[in-house]
Amino acid sequence: RRPVSYYELMGGAPTIRAIVEAFYPKVIEHPLLAPLFPEDITPVMEKQEMFLTQYFGGPQLYTMKEGHPRMRARHIRFPITPDRATAWLSCMQQAMDEVVEDSALREQMMERLAMTAYFFVNTDEQED
Ligand code: HEM
């Protein structure tokens, strides 16, 4: 029997969409994160929607459209400090709190995202 994915457990496409829509307004308001993002956040949201879909076990939307994710490599041109990873995760935690009702599921998904986010850290330098 095929294991049930996080994608299915959380409610599929509409839930991913809602997470992305809750998340990016917080990102572009966050003092550590905002400067890294382009003025038009829409294309980033679309890619993140495709990526999180497959990251949580749904259809491979990102790979079909953009090729192999190589997601850490795609982040190399941005200075990702430990503080920025923490900031990203705190925006995501807030978005999940708003959107995903099941707190145990939320916690598991955040645990996975935390590993990924800290894996993307590529500099220790803090720009203050
Ligand atoms: C793109 C920052 C973590 C998924 C981006 C962009 C920035 C960024 C600046 C590019 C925006 C542009 O197109 O100009 C960060 C920071 C993180 C982080 C500071 C802190 C650790 C993550 C994590 C994931 C993720 C954990 C997934 C679980 C993506 C995706 C894109 C993206 C899918 C679009 C990639 C593409 O252009 O195809 N991120 N990110 N990011 N990020 Fe992150």
Instruction: State whether the beta carbon of 66 lies less than 6 angstroms from ligand 1.
Output: yes
CA of 65 to the centre of ligand 1 (A): 16
> How large is the ipTM?
0.97
Atom 10 of ligand 1 has which residue's CA nearest to it? 37
What local confidence, expressed as pLDDT, does residue 30 receive?
98
What local confidence, expressed as pLDDT, does residue 127 receive?
56
What local confidence, expressed as pLDDT, does residue 78 receive?
98
The hierarchical CATH code for the domain 6-119 is: 1.10.490.10
DSSP annotation of 12 reads S
Residue-level pLDDT, tens digit, the chain, 128 residues: 778 999 999 999 999 999 999 999 999 999 999 999 999 999 999 999 999 999 999 999 999 999 999 999 999 999 999 999 999 999 999 999 999 999 999 999 999 999 999 999 999 976 55
The residues spanned by each domain of the chain are 6-119
Q: Which long-range contacts (CB under 8 A, 24 or more apart) does 19-26 make?
A: 19/52, 19/92, 19/95, 19/96, 19/99, 19/100, 20/45, 20/48, 20/49, 20/52, 21/45, 22/94, 22/95, 22/98, 22/99, 23/48, 23/91, 23/92, 23/95, 24/48, 26/91, 26/94, 26/95
What local confidence, expressed as pLDDT, does residue 3 receive?
85
Asked if 73 and 66 touch (Cβ cutoff 8 Å), the reply is: no
Instruction: State whether the beta carbon of 36 lies less than 6 angstroms from ligand 1.
Output: yes
What local confidence, expressed as pLDDT, does residue 2 receive?
78
